Amino acid sequence: MKGLIYFAALSILTNEEDILQGNLKYHRSSHLYEGSLAISIEDLNRFESFFHNHRLYGTVTTNLHFIPKEGKQAISCDLSAYRVRYENVLVDDLSIQGSVEDLLSNPKGEIHLLAEKVYKEGIYLEKLELNSQSIPESSWPFSLAVEGRIEAPFETHLTGNWKQEEGQILVELTEATGTLIDIPLHLEHPVSLSWKEHVWELTPHLS
């Protein structure tokens, strides 16, 4: 059909264990993709050159669905990863589910991330769970629950919202509760954080 580029019945086998399969088409007039891809990678270390030669290991499977919607690109993702190691960080189990509309200009949708048994020198996280869903005002309310051990057992639950604006990520932390060695933790005032050019800035709201 005129105006379309088809990648029909796509199947790429890099070896006996790594697989990319799916059906995908590209709408040249709107520059949007439509279709699905299934990706299975047995060992991420074989793709080390794509990650600037950083050490990366683990097994990943993911399903991607691309949907043109009212002239915008929408995408949904279901990813599972096991025994992932990046430099000196280890993650036994990682899952990410999400669906995002208007991906390229004004993303909105929902994301769920769950990481279990995360290890780094001096830090052990039994569980880290993040949920975020956008609202019409272009911000993304979120909740983050973490439990584990940093010298002593701890757990915490954070809520707030985040958004990307003018090349930076803005985070407003509105509530934080938890315990450290059975000592209650509580955020007295909201806090704003911004991330730009690899630098975090923190601003407390004391009023």
In tens, the pLDDT along 59-68 reads: 999 999 999 9
Q: Quick one: pLDDT at residue 14?
A: 58
pLDDT at 6 over 70: no
Average pLDDT over residues 21-33: 86
Tokens 């609202």 -> residue: 135
> What percent of the chain has pLDDT above 90?
40
Model confidence at 102, in pLDDT bands (50, 70, 90)? confident
Hey, which bits of the chain come out as E strands? 4-13, 19-27, 32-41, 56-69, 72-86, 89-101, 108-120, 123-133, 140-150, 152-165, 168-180, 183-186, 191-196, 199-204
pLDDT at 79 over 70: yes
pLDDT at 1 over 70: no
Q: Is 145 exposed, middle or buried (0-12, 13-18, 19+ CB in 10 A)?
A: middle
For residue 96, which of 78, 121, 72 has the smallest C-alpha distance? 78
Q: What is the CA radius of gyration of the chain?
A: 20
Q: Quick one: pLDDT at residue 131?
A: 97
pTM above 0.75, yes or no: yes
- Bridge partners (DSSP) of residue 131 are 112, 143
